[in-house]
Structure 1
Amino acid sequence: MTNNNPIGLFDSGIGGTSIWKEIYDVLPNEDTIYLADSKNAPYGQKSKEEIIQLSIKNTEFLLNQNAKIIVVACNTATTNAIKELRAKYDVPFIGIEPAIKPAALNSEKHIIGILATQGTLNSELFHQTAEKYQNTKIIEQIGHGLVGLIENGEINSPEMNHLLHTYLEPMIEANIDYLVLGCSHYPYLIPQIKKILPNHIKIIDSGEAVARQTKKVLIESVGLSDKSKKGKALFYSNSNPKVLDDILQNKYEVIRKDF
């Protein structure tokens, strides 16, 4: 089955580009359209109803660009809105959830930490997943302020370093051996996080699993591109596109557009 329409992705901002990179590595011949709703970032402090409405708006933007599949490259939007999106639209949706399962199954100490937004940690979907691993102690930490700093291009700022120490040191003291990054923005913090965590604590996120699932759904029910050359990547932002440009190392076209 062949389908040359683009893969659509959206996030509350630039963080979902960490998911886009994983998908582009696995499916390099696919066209992609990425939507950064940075004007409304972060989603983690918003109500479930607000998150659903923003997710509908983002979805319709991508469907108007003929997206054949939509990747909700945002943990908060997935855990709060993907059920409603799947009920409303016929297009397949790929969600992103915190990687609790592999962390819990591989943890030798049965103690794992999760750094995520308030919206993700408070969601019904997160609690349903966490309840499956009752023999594992899960240390939850809301990453207040992290997304805002990333969106402002302050990844290496003293404030970021202070917040990460504040959030991670109690997890170290609790003796975790896995840290789950429960927000698609957070993989951009891995270099700083590694400086704080002892070497034995493994860091895990969902990007690779999302890319594999996207490929599987395309093969089984949507169709892959039959192009032999690298796919075209388009990026849209409704806020200052410079941070998105910087994250992408100015290699791709970033379009400033209100939506």
Structure 2
Amino acid sequence: MKQNGAIGIFDSGVGGTSIWKEIHGLLPFEDTIYLADSKYAPYGNRSKEEITALSIKNTEFLIAQGCKIIVVACNTATTNAIKVLRANYNIPIIGIEPAIKPAALHSKTKSIGILATKGTLSSELFHKTSEAFTNGIQLTEVVGEGLVSLIEKGALDSLEMMELLEKHIRPMIEANIDYLVLGCSHYPYIIPQLQKILPKHITIIDSGEAVAKQTKAILAENDLLRNEERMPTLRFYTNSEVDTLQFLLKEFAVKISIEKKGF
């Protein structure tokens, strides 16, 4: 039965586990398979063709594992490759986009910031979304150069991380933003560090909760939700070292399996 298939999730590395946590929290009885393509992280510095090829590879790996739905837990892969994935595979595919709309709607200073990868900020889909919702809003876009690499190493509280964040955030503070949109699934892991730098009135928004709700809605719509309460199988695969995954998922250690694989 298709309902017994797993929810497949992939990202250019470990960052998408921030999305996995939201999905598992909302759908605790569903099996999940998470693929961390850390060997090729960050996707944000790659060409559209490379990003699409990697996204196809990851999707095919998850489909081969019997997944019933794919969540592209990577802004760069969504904005560059989701159209191709949806055209080529006959299962629901959920993407993740920066939450520009709620930030623009609620901003009192009419100035919002977005911290994202180069691949997301330069994509056609991002520009369409941005134009649709930011009329009359000043948008300060900053490429989070170097952040993904540090998060992949688990260097969340390093001096290098704090120095990079201060540099990236400065133009946004100068632009009087009151909302900071995180445009990369790695970035929720550095919210505590961002809060040390940002003035108290600035609200941070990421897309994790919205993606989890959308995943549940699409599963329900396609009659793919599991309907029994059970202990799920929670599998994680990486093509790099397992240490950072273990660190970021330590509170789930007894429930999950993490395996290094060549893909």
Name the TM-score, length of structure 1 as normaliser: 0.98
For residues 88 and 216 of structure 2, what CA distance do their matches in structure 1 show? 23
Partner residue, 2:84 = 84
Cα contact 1:52–1:80 (8 A) shared by 2: yes
For residues 18 and 62 of structure 2, what CA distance do their matches in structure 1 show? 19
Q: Secondary structure at the match of 1:198?
A: coil
Matches within 5 A, 1:105-116: 105-116=105-116
Matches within 5 A, 1:13-162: 13-132=13-132, 133-162=134-163
For these two proteins, the number of residue pairs brought into alignment is: 259
Root-mean-square deviation (CA, aligned residues, Å) is 1.0
For residues 159 and 142 of structure 2, what CA distance do their matches in structure 1 show? 20
Q: Percent identity?
A: 63
For residues 17 and 223 of structure 2, what CA distance do their matches in structure 1 show? 22
For residues 196 and 229 of structure 1, what CA distance do their matches in structure 2 show? 42
Q: Secondary structure at the match of 1:90?
A: coil
Cα contact 2:38–2:238 (8 A) shared by 1: yes
Letter in 2 for 1:230: M
Cα contact 1:141–1:167 (8 A) shared by 2: yes
Deviates more, 1:246-255 or 1:45-54: 246-255
For residues 115 and 242 of structure 1, what CA distance do their matches in structure 2 show? 26
Letter in 2 for 1:25: G
For residues 72 and 167 of structure 2, what CA distance do their matches in structure 1 show? 29
Shift of the alpha carbon at 1:208? Answer: 0.3
Partner residue, 1:258 = 262
Cα contact 1:18–1:188 (8 A) shared by 2: yes
Moved over 4 A (4+): none
Cα contact 2:114–2:139 (8 A) shared by 1: yes
Q: Secondary structure at the match of 1:69?
A: strand
The 3 A distance-change label for structure 1 pair 236 and 2 is closer
Cα contact 1:2–1:226 (8 A) shared by 2: no
Unmatched tracts of structure 2, length 5 or more? none
For residues 228 and 260 of structure 2, what CA distance do their matches in structure 1 show? 28
Cα contact 2:182–2:204 (8 A) shared by 1: yes
Partner residue, 2:216 = 215
Letter in 2 for 1:253: S
Unmatched tracts of structure 1, length 5 or more? none
Matches within 5 A, 1:216-255: 216-249=217-250, 250-251=253-254, 252-255=256-259
Shift of the alpha carbon at 1:230? Answer: 3.2
